[in-house]
Amino acid sequence: MSIQHSYKTNFAYSLILLFVLTLAISPVAEARQAQAQGDTLSMSLDEALEIALINSYLLRKGLLDIDEAGAQIREAWGNVYPQVNATANYTRNIKSPNPFAGSSAGDFFQSFGAIGWLAYNERARTDGDPSTSPIPFDEFLDRQQQGYEEAGITPPGLDSNPFAIDNQFQGFINVTQALYNGTAFAAIRGAEQFKKLTDDQRIRDRQIISNEVKTAYFRALLAQETSDVLRRSIERTRKTVSDAARTVA
């Protein structure tokens, strides 16, 4: 009789202790669950991956490295592209220096006009055309001057400085093309290889970030399921304590 009474007493104490522990744990678990529900943000796996890939500084750096590699390739090709250089000079001489000033060289150059007059008269006498005839030297110079004026040019060789140039324009175009440049082509191959390695590194970084996001996402799901299991376990324990209390009573 005493053994049965002792067994009931111990069982009652155990139920009371379990009930007290349940009451102590339940508010904490419920408070944490309520706080978690208040701070919960629903997100699918695809959305989590998209956000992580867009905001990853590692991937942004990879894109900048790819742009830099492309710029290096264009810079390397610039050493073998055709190069065109153009220059132009214009000179307006207000007063031209005369190297023959003070000498009789001017008369020598003026004599070229007389040579032209003699050549004209010789053609006029021998061409067989009655409408043409030799003309005086002054008339030849007048006709020649009139022709130059109508053409808008300065008569050459009729002054004492035949080398005088009022307006001078010079233009130069230089085109160069490298047929073979070992250093440049080696730089191009190196830049292209660097770009390929940068692309591969970006793909690898993308895979690493995707794996980390998936791992964190599934761990969060596992933690959520574990929390649900604990909550249901607490509810069952509370129900068991309640049933046991009614049985003892």
Domain that holds residue 234: 2-81+180-248
> pLDDT category, 224, cuts 50, 70, 90?
confident
Do 98 and 170 reside in the same domain of the chain? yes
Number of domains comprising the chain: 2
Burial 167-202 (b: 16+ CB within 10 A, else e): eeeeeeeeeeeeeeeeebeebbeebeebbeebeeeb
Regarding whether 35 and 75 lie in a shared domain, the answer is yes
Same domain, 110 and 46: no
Same domain, 56 and 101: no
Cα three-residue angle 13-19-21, rounded to 5 degrees: 105
Contacts of 209 (CB under 8 A, 6+ apart): 52, 53, 56, 58, 59
Q: Of 176, 202, 220, which residue sits at a domain end?
A: 176
Given 176, 196, 229, the domain boundary residue is 176
In which band, very low, low, confident or very high, does the pLDDT at 86 lie, cut at 50, 70 and 90?
Answer: very high
Query: What is the pLDDT averaged over residues 153-179?
Result: 72
Residues 59 and 88 placed together within one structural domain of the fold: no
> Is 190 found in the same domain as 164?
no
pLDDT digit string, tens, across residues 44-56: 778 877 887 788 7
Find the range with the poorest average confidence among 2-16, 60-74, 145-159.
Answer: 2-16
Residues 71 and 116 in one domain: no
Q: Would you call 117 exposed, middle or buried from its count of C-beta atoms within 10 A (0-12, 13-18, 19+)?
A: buried
| Domain end marker among 158, 176, 194 | 176
* 129: phi then psi, degrees, rounded to nearest 5: -100, 120
Model pLDDT for residues 140-165, shown as the tens digit of each residue: 778 877 877 777 766 655 555 556 66
Gap between the Cα atoms of 95 and 102, Å rounded:
17
Is the confidence at residue 11, as pLDDT, over 80?
no
Q: Are 45 and 95 within one domain?
A: no
141 and 159 inside one domain: yes
Which residue type, as a one-letter code, is found at position 82? Answer: P
Do 44 and 152 have their domain in common?
no
64 and 184 share one domain: yes
Q: Residues 182-188: what's their mean pLDDT?
A: 81
46 with 154, same domain: the answer is no
What count of residues does the chain have?
249
The structure tokens listed for 1 are: 């009789």
* Residue 163: DSSP 8-state: T
Q: SS3 sequence, 185-204? A: HHHHHHHHHHHHHHHHHHHH
